[in-house]
A = this chain, B = another copy of it.
Amino acid sequence: MPKEFKIAKGVKDWYGREAILRNEIKDALKRVFERYGYNPIETPMIERAETVKFKGGEEIQKEIFTLKDQGKRELALRFDQTLPLARFVASNKDVKFPFKRYVIGEVFRDGPTQPEQGRYRVFTQCDVDILGVKDMIAEAELLALAQDCFKEMGLGNITVKINNRKLLDGILEYAGVPDKDKFNTIIILDKMDKIGIEGVKKEIKLLLPKEKIDKLVSAITKAKNNNETYKKLTEIISSKNGIEGLNEIKQLLDYSKNMGFNFIEFDPSLARGLDYYTGTTIEVYLKDKSVVKSAVLAGGRFDNMIGAFSGGKKEIPAVGFSFGLERIAMILNDIKKNLKSSNTELYLIPINTAKECLKIANSLRSQGLNVDMDLKGKKMGQAITYADSLGIPYAGIIGEDELKEDSITIKNLKTREQKKIKINEAYKYLKAK
């Protein structure tokens, strides 16, 4: 027998306040997703290897966990929620479009981890996607949804940056970036929030001559407001693709204005380093940069991928978002005071009344209270210390006196105040606190 059993590398146990917080975030996201008409699907964590390996460069392929079953079938753990969605749609003839689904579940990546950034090998992606809508009204709905999600999580103060991959192509063309360098330029631009414009310029120097860099930087620099940025770009963008992207941005800005959204920022420097985006790209930032500088949510339009999975016979436009649970939990864990470390509201301590106390616990539970009780016959002091160490706010002492009077002596474990309360009033008393 091994002397010590350890957790595997790059993964984490969640318990106490972190586990409760994770559940609260998932519940909040689910509530908002359903409020916007998204319904849940769950695809399995194990897929055929060919499904998981269908998209993505060499770097991604290396990070796919593969395995075999007893029948030697080639399998893989899902790497994201998007390819399984594409496989689901391809293999289900009764999917009706538009198809709006959400999914909350673990994905697996055999890569480097950064616990301080909330990056693990097993992590939870919360995705919403709309399939089957080409118009920017889909993006408009998603912007409203994103705002509501952050509001629901107590992170209401956000900036949403939008851009468009087709427009970015137009800008690269305007700046004279050769085709072969386009994707690498996008990858460098994507680092903007980490390395700043000076860092971007420095890296791009290895790729492009100064003249082209100047044109590029001037084109991707925001003007003083969304209208001005739009106007500026209409004057320099001439490729068909670029103009289409710019029109889409205009439509999305119109929808946003109509919804009264003043937190939308058209930022032509916004790049997303994933090669499957075809149109709108979106990133959400907290206004308070002291909490976290980089994006807290990202998404965009990928009109070609779902269709490619279905044999490429039809185009299935798609746009969506992915919330990283670990990252949001890390942020909330940092900034929220008074996170609960237990969901239990009352800890009953029987003083030689264990059997009666079991019944009282059941009756309080049936009233809707979360009740734990001492099952070990601990002394009162020890029991109180235990309840307090778990983070339970109240103890309820039940001795023979209390039994006679159908009462509980309820003790606030913070203030140490206590009060004798009738059992049938305990719910009201504690919920009023």
- A interface residues, Cβ below 8 angstroms from B: 1-16, 19-20, 22-23, 30, 34-37, 39-48, 50-51, 54, 62-63, 65-67, 69-71, 73, 75, 77, 86-88, 90-92, 96, 98, 100-101, 106, 108, 110-111, 120-122, 130, 132-133, 135, 137-138, 140-141, 144, 148, 255, 258-260, 308-309, 311-312, 342-344, 347, 354-355, 358-359, 361-362, 365-366, 368-373, 375-377, 386, 389-390
**Complex Cα gap A368–B369 (Å):** 25
Contact present for A122 and B44 (CB under 8 Å):
yes
Q: How far is the CA of A100 from the CA of B342 in the complex (A)?
A: 11
A365 and B45 contact, Cβ closer than 8 Å, known pairs A4-B311, A15-B101, A73-B9: no
In the complex with contacts A8-B75, A65-B67, A71-B9, A14-B41 CB distance below 8 A? yes
A386 and B96 within 8 A (CB) = yes
A121 → chain B, closest Cβ, in Å? 7
Give CA–CA (A87, B7) in the complex, Å. Answer: 7
Q: A376 contacts B98, CB within 8 Å?
A: yes
The answer to whether A46 and B14 touch across the interface, beta carbons within 8 angstroms, is: no
Question: Could you show 17 A-B contacts with beta carbons less than 8 Å apart?
Answer: A4-B90, A5-B51, A5-B87, A5-B90, A7-B44, A8-B48, A15-B88, A22-B42, A37-B347, A37-B370, A37-B372, A70-B111, A132-B376, A133-B375, A255-B355, A259-B359, A259-B362
- Please state if A344 and B39 are interface contacts (CB–CB under 8 Å): yes
Q: How many copies make up the complex?
A: 2
Structural contact, A110 and B13, CB atoms closer than 8 A: no
- A130: chain B residues at CB < 8 Å are 375
Contact B137 A34 (CB under 8 A): no
CB contacts (< 8 Å) of A371 on chain B: these are 35-37
A336 to B359, CA, bound (A): 31
Given A13-B44, A135-B375, A137-B354, 15 other A-B contacts at CB below 8 A? A3-B311, A5-B51, A7-B47, A7-B48, A7-B88, A8-B46, A9-B73, A13-B41, A14-B41, A22-B40, A36-B365, A36-B370, A44-B122, A67-B77, A259-B359
Cβ–Cβ contact B375 & A141, under 8 A: yes
Cβ–Cβ contact A144 & B110, under 8 A: no
- Bound state CA distance, A1 and B308, in angstroms? 9
The residues of B that contact A358 with a CB separation of less than 8 Å are 137, 140-141, 144, 255, 258-259
By Cβ-Cβ distance, the 5 closest A-B pairs, closest first, are: A37-B372, A11-B44, A15-B41, A14-B42, A19-B40
Whether A13 contacts B45 in the complex (CB less than 8 A), given A62-B70, A65-B69, A365-B35, comes out as: no
Docked CA distance A45–B354 (Å): 38
Residues of B within 8 A of A16 (CB): 39
**Residues in B whose Cβ lies below 8 Å from that of A92:** 13, 15
- Give chain B nearest CB distance to A11 CB in angstroms: 4
Residues of the B chain whose Cβ atoms lie less than 8 Å from the Cβ of A370? 34-37
Report if A108-B311 is in contact (Cβ < 8 Å); known contacts: A23-B40, A144-B358, A359-B258: no
- CA of A98 to CA of B312 in the docked complex: distance in angstroms? 57
| Pairwise interchain contact B369-A8, C-beta atoms closer than 8 A | no
